[in-house]
Protein backbone atom coordinates (compact mmCIF):
# COMPACT_ATOMS: atom_id res chain seq x y z
CA UNK A 1 0.00 0.00 0.00
CA UNK A 2 1.30 3.43 -0.95
CA UNK A 3 0.27 6.50 1.07
CA UNK A 4 0.18 10.26 0.66
CA UNK A 5 0.05 11.88 4.09
CA UNK A 6 -1.29 15.42 4.56
CA UNK A 7 0.48 17.23 7.39
CA UNK A 8 1.47 20.71 8.54
CA UNK A 9 4.62 22.02 6.94
CA UNK A 10 7.85 22.24 8.92
CA UNK A 11 10.71 24.76 8.39
CA UNK A 12 12.99 22.14 6.85
CA UNK A 13 10.35 21.39 4.20
CA UNK A 14 11.00 24.73 2.50
CA UNK A 15 13.41 23.51 -0.25
CA UNK A 16 11.09 20.65 -1.24
CA UNK A 17 8.01 22.88 -1.14
CA UNK A 18 9.79 25.44 -3.34
CA UNK A 19 10.62 22.75 -5.88
CA UNK A 20 7.03 21.46 -5.98
CA UNK A 21 5.64 24.98 -6.46
CA UNK A 22 8.19 25.84 -9.13
CA UNK A 23 7.59 22.63 -11.09
CA UNK A 24 3.82 23.04 -10.84
CA UNK A 25 3.98 26.53 -12.32
CA UNK A 26 6.40 25.49 -15.05
CA UNK A 27 3.97 22.72 -16.04
CA UNK A 28 1.57 25.47 -17.21
CA UNK A 29 4.11 27.09 -19.54
CA UNK A 30 3.19 25.00 -22.59
CA UNK A 31 -0.52 25.84 -22.32
CA UNK A 32 0.24 29.54 -21.91
CA UNK A 33 2.63 29.43 -24.87
CA UNK A 34 0.06 27.76 -27.13
CA UNK A 35 -2.50 30.37 -26.10
CA UNK A 36 -0.03 33.17 -26.89
CA UNK A 37 0.66 31.72 -30.35
CA UNK A 38 -2.81 32.75 -31.46
CA UNK A 39 -2.44 36.26 -30.09
CA UNK A 40 -2.51 38.97 -32.75
CA UNK A 41 0.53 40.61 -31.18
CA UNK A 42 2.64 37.51 -31.86
CA UNK A 43 1.86 37.73 -35.58
CA UNK A 44 2.59 41.46 -35.58
CA UNK A 45 5.94 40.89 -33.89
CA UNK A 46 6.92 38.33 -36.53
CA UNK A 47 5.99 40.72 -39.39
CA UNK A 48 7.78 43.69 -37.82
CA UNK A 49 10.96 41.71 -37.16
CA UNK A 50 10.98 40.36 -40.72
CA UNK A 51 10.43 43.85 -42.12
CA UNK A 52 13.22 45.29 -39.97
CA UNK A 53 15.64 42.57 -41.10
CA UNK A 54 14.76 43.09 -44.76
CA UNK A 55 14.59 46.90 -44.92
CA UNK A 56 17.18 48.10 -42.40
CA UNK A 57 19.61 45.19 -42.26
CA UNK A 58 19.45 44.12 -45.88
CA UNK A 59 18.84 40.47 -45.02
CA UNK A 60 17.68 38.43 -48.05
CA UNK A 61 13.94 37.81 -48.02
CA UNK A 62 14.25 34.04 -47.63
CA UNK A 63 16.35 34.49 -44.48
CA UNK A 64 13.79 36.88 -43.04
CA UNK A 65 11.68 33.79 -42.40
CA UNK A 66 14.00 33.20 -39.45
CA UNK A 67 11.95 35.86 -37.68
CA UNK A 68 9.28 33.21 -37.09
CA UNK A 69 11.36 30.87 -34.87
CA UNK A 70 13.17 33.86 -33.33
CA UNK A 71 9.93 35.43 -32.10
CA UNK A 72 8.54 32.10 -30.92
CA UNK A 73 11.72 31.25 -28.98
CA UNK A 74 11.73 34.69 -27.37
CA UNK A 75 8.05 34.34 -26.52
CA UNK A 76 8.61 30.96 -24.87
CA UNK A 77 11.55 32.29 -22.84
CA UNK A 78 9.51 35.28 -21.64
CA UNK A 79 6.55 33.09 -20.63
CA UNK A 80 8.85 30.61 -18.89
CA UNK A 81 10.56 33.42 -17.01
CA UNK A 82 7.30 35.04 -15.93
CA UNK A 83 6.00 31.76 -14.50
CA UNK A 84 9.32 31.16 -12.75
CA UNK A 85 9.17 34.63 -11.19
CA UNK A 86 5.58 34.05 -10.05
CA UNK A 87 6.59 30.82 -8.32
CA UNK A 88 9.43 32.62 -6.56
CA UNK A 89 7.07 35.43 -5.52
CA UNK A 90 4.67 32.93 -3.93
CA UNK A 91 7.47 31.41 -1.89
CA UNK A 92 9.25 34.55 -0.76
CA UNK A 93 6.90 37.55 -0.76
CA UNK A 94 3.67 36.19 0.72
CA UNK A 95 3.35 35.53 4.44
CA UNK A 96 1.43 32.33 5.15
CA UNK A 97 -0.65 31.88 8.29
CA UNK A 98 -0.44 28.11 7.85
CA UNK A 99 1.04 25.77 5.27
CA UNK A 100 0.52 22.06 4.58
CA UNK A 101 2.36 19.47 2.56
CA UNK A 102 1.40 16.18 0.95
CA UNK A 103 4.11 13.62 1.63
CA UNK A 104 4.29 10.39 -0.38
CA UNK A 105 5.26 7.25 1.54
CA UNK A 106 6.78 4.74 -0.86
CA UNK A 107 9.32 1.87 -0.67
CA UNK A 108 12.98 2.87 -0.86
CA UNK A 109 13.39 0.94 -4.09
CA UNK A 110 10.26 2.31 -5.69
CA UNK A 111 10.64 1.85 -9.46
CA UNK A 112 7.03 2.14 -10.67
CA UNK A 113 5.58 5.26 -12.19
CA UNK A 114 3.57 7.10 -9.49
CA UNK A 115 0.79 7.97 -11.94
CA UNK A 116 0.15 4.25 -12.47
CA UNK A 117 -0.06 3.41 -8.75
CA UNK A 118 -2.87 3.78 -6.24
CA UNK A 119 -2.01 6.04 -3.32
CA UNK A 120 -4.22 6.33 -0.27
CA UNK A 121 -4.48 10.03 0.64
CA UNK A 122 -4.81 10.34 4.39
CA UNK A 123 -4.41 13.03 7.12
CA UNK A 124 -1.40 12.59 9.38
CA UNK A 125 -3.55 12.04 12.48
CA UNK A 126 -5.36 9.12 10.89
CA UNK A 127 -2.10 7.71 9.53
CA UNK A 128 -0.57 7.72 13.02
CA UNK A 129 -3.71 6.28 14.64
CA UNK A 130 -3.64 3.32 12.28
CA UNK A 131 -0.23 2.40 13.68
CA UNK A 132 1.39 2.03 10.27
CA UNK A 133 5.10 1.24 10.39
CA UNK A 134 6.66 4.04 8.36
CA UNK A 135 10.30 3.03 8.80
CA UNK A 136 10.24 1.07 5.56
CA UNK A 137 9.03 4.02 3.50
CA UNK A 138 10.88 6.72 1.61
CA UNK A 139 9.22 10.10 2.14
CA UNK A 140 8.87 12.65 -0.67
CA UNK A 141 6.92 15.91 -0.62
CA UNK A 142 4.64 15.90 -3.67
CA UNK A 143 2.14 18.65 -2.88
CA UNK A 144 1.54 21.76 -0.83
CA UNK A 145 -0.86 24.62 -0.13
CA UNK A 146 -1.00 27.60 2.20
CA UNK A 147 -3.44 30.08 3.70
CA UNK A 148 -2.89 33.77 4.30
CA UNK A 149 -4.96 36.69 5.55
CA UNK A 150 -7.21 38.17 2.87
CA UNK A 151 -6.16 41.74 2.06
CA UNK A 152 -9.77 43.00 1.94
CA UNK A 153 -11.27 41.52 5.08
CA UNK A 154 -9.88 40.12 8.30
CA UNK A 155 -12.73 37.60 8.35
CA UNK A 156 -11.67 36.07 5.05
CA UNK A 157 -8.76 33.79 4.27
CA UNK A 158 -6.87 33.44 0.99
CA UNK A 159 -5.78 30.07 -0.38
CA UNK A 160 -2.58 30.17 -2.40
CA UNK A 161 0.43 28.10 -3.43
CA UNK A 162 -1.67 24.98 -4.09
CA UNK A 163 0.62 22.74 -6.12
CA UNK A 164 0.86 19.01 -6.78
CA UNK A 165 3.62 17.13 -8.57
CA UNK A 166 2.44 16.23 -12.10
CA UNK A 167 3.09 12.53 -11.47
CA UNK A 168 0.73 12.51 -8.46
CA UNK A 169 -2.22 14.41 -9.89
CA UNK A 170 -5.75 13.01 -10.21
CA UNK A 171 -5.36 11.09 -6.93
CA UNK A 172 -7.36 13.46 -4.72
CA UNK A 173 -4.29 15.15 -3.23
CA UNK A 174 -5.24 18.66 -4.32
CA UNK A 175 -8.78 18.23 -3.03
CA UNK A 176 -7.57 16.92 0.34
CA UNK A 177 -5.13 19.82 0.71
CA UNK A 178 -7.90 22.31 -0.15
CA UNK A 179 -10.33 20.76 2.31
CA UNK A 180 -7.64 20.75 5.01
CA UNK A 181 -7.16 24.48 4.45
CA UNK A 182 -10.93 25.05 4.53
CA UNK A 183 -11.27 23.15 7.81
CA UNK A 184 -8.42 25.16 9.32
CA UNK A 185 -10.10 28.41 8.23
CA UNK A 186 -13.38 27.25 9.72
CA UNK A 187 -11.74 26.41 13.05
CA UNK A 188 -10.05 29.82 13.12
CA UNK A 189 -13.42 31.53 12.51
CA UNK A 190 -12.92 32.77 8.97
CA UNK A 191 -16.16 33.28 7.06
CA UNK A 192 -15.02 32.93 3.46
CA UNK A 193 -12.02 31.66 1.52
CA UNK A 194 -10.94 33.05 -1.83
CA UNK A 195 -8.31 32.20 -4.41
CA UNK A 196 -7.32 32.96 -7.99
CA UNK A 197 -6.49 30.58 -10.84
CA UNK A 198 -5.65 31.15 -14.51
CA UNK A 199 -7.21 29.91 -17.71
CA UNK A 200 -4.32 27.42 -17.95
CA UNK A 201 -5.55 25.59 -14.84
CA UNK A 202 -8.70 23.99 -16.19
CA UNK A 203 -8.30 20.85 -14.07
CA UNK A 204 -7.92 23.00 -10.96
CA UNK A 205 -11.25 24.70 -11.70
CA UNK A 206 -13.00 21.34 -11.44
CA UNK A 207 -11.14 20.56 -8.23
CA UNK A 208 -12.23 23.80 -6.61
CA UNK A 209 -15.78 23.33 -7.85
CA UNK A 210 -15.82 19.98 -6.01
CA UNK A 211 -14.59 21.80 -2.91
CA UNK A 212 -17.51 24.24 -3.04
CA UNK A 213 -15.89 27.25 -4.73
CA UNK A 214 -17.82 29.46 -7.13
CA UNK A 215 -16.60 32.04 -9.65
CA UNK A 216 -17.03 35.56 -8.30
CA UNK A 217 -15.00 37.56 -10.78
CA UNK A 218 -13.16 37.17 -14.10
CA UNK A 219 -10.48 39.55 -15.29
CA UNK A 220 -7.33 39.69 -17.39
CA UNK A 221 -3.83 40.02 -16.02
CA UNK A 222 -0.83 40.89 -18.14
CA UNK A 223 1.81 38.21 -18.41
CA UNK A 224 4.87 40.34 -19.05
CA UNK A 225 3.49 43.21 -21.15
CA UNK A 226 0.01 44.55 -21.70
CA UNK A 227 0.03 42.81 -25.09
CA UNK A 228 -0.08 39.32 -23.60
CA UNK A 229 -2.62 38.55 -20.90
CA UNK A 230 -4.08 35.58 -19.05
CA UNK A 231 -7.71 35.28 -18.07
CA UNK A 232 -8.01 35.00 -14.30
CA UNK A 233 -10.81 33.49 -12.25
CA UNK A 234 -11.39 34.65 -8.69
CA UNK A 235 -13.20 31.93 -6.71
CA UNK A 236 -14.91 32.03 -3.33
CA UNK A 237 -16.24 29.45 -0.90
CA UNK A 238 -18.07 29.86 2.41
CA UNK A 239 -16.14 28.16 5.22
CA UNK A 240 -17.76 29.56 8.37
CA UNK A 241 -19.37 27.12 10.72
CA UNK A 242 -23.14 27.11 11.04
CA UNK A 243 -22.79 27.09 14.82
CA UNK A 244 -20.48 29.65 16.37
One pLDDT digit (tens) per residue for the chain, 244 residues: 799 999 999 999 999 999 999 999 999 899 889 888 887 778 888 888 888 888 888 888 888 888 889 989 998 998 899 889 989 998 988 889 999 999 999 988 888 899 999 999 999 999 989 888 778 889 999 999 999 999 989 999 999 999 999 999 999 999 999 999 999 999 999 999 999 998 888 888 899 999 999 999 998 887 666 566 778 999 999 998 765 5
Task: For the domain made up of 2-10+96-238, give the CATH fold.
Answer: Aminopeptidase (3.40.630)
Alpha-carbon distance of 240 to 223, in angstroms, equals 34
Alpha-carbon distance of 177 to 184, in angstroms, equals 11
Residue 8 confidence (pLDDT): 97
Cα 231–chain centre separation? 15
Residue 225 confidence (pLDDT): 60
Domain ranges of the chain: 2-10+96-238
Residue 222 confidence (pLDDT): 74
Residue 15 confidence (pLDDT): 96
Give 150's contacts (C-beta < 8 A, 6+ positions apart): 156, 157, 158, 192, 194
Residue 226 confidence (pLDDT): 57
Residue 224 confidence (pLDDT): 60
Residue 39 confidence (pLDDT): 78
Residue pair 157/125 in contact by the 8 Å Cβ criterion: no
Residue 202 confidence (pLDDT): 81
Residue 162 confidence (pLDDT): 96
Amino acid sequence: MYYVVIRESQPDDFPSVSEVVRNAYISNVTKAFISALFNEVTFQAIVLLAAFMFIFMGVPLQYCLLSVPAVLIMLYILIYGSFLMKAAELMHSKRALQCWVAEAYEPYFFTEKPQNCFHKVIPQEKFLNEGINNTNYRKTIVGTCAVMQHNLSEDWSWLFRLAVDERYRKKGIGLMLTQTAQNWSRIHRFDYMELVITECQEEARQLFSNAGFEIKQMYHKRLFTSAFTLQMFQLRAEVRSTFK
